[in-house]
Amino acid sequence: MDLRAVRALTGRGIDPGDDHHVRPLQTSDVGEADLFVALDHSHADRLRELGAPNDHVLLLGGFDPESDAPVDVADPFESDQGAYEHTLTRIMWCMLGLMAEIRDRLRVEPTGDEPMSGGAGAFDPAHQSSER
């Protein structure tokens, strides 16, 4: 994992772990998932090319409850530390909306104990960054 990504994660109390590996998606991956969350349109298009049903492919940026920013989440690769911090903040905000969407799809009520749920011990991206 890129050292800038590690710094961004650990700076917010997230353990990046040692086993993060990137690999290209394969056709066999498509049949094993109920939902794909892409960071940009090119990733979403590739998922559809591999056979993912359109309604199983979502763009993460569309779930940012606080932003009118473009739907694509920019890849900070080859950028400075600030770009990694900004991207992580955006992803975290988007995850709040995505989790609500998944709960709605599954018809599950939040318990308040989920990470980033607002409950005890929850992670609030607004308190982790001065970007918002």
Task: Give CA–CA dist 47/35, Å, rounded.
Answer: 11
Question: What is the pLDDT averaged over residues 62-68?
Answer: 83
pLDDT recorded at residue 120: 45
pLDDT reported for residue 65: 81
Q: Please tell me whether residue 23 adopts helix, strand or coil conformation.
A: coil
pLDDT at residue 6, rounded to an integer: 94
pTM: 0.78
Per-residue pLDDT, averaged over 95-101, amounts to 91
The predicted structure's pLDDT at residue 58: 94
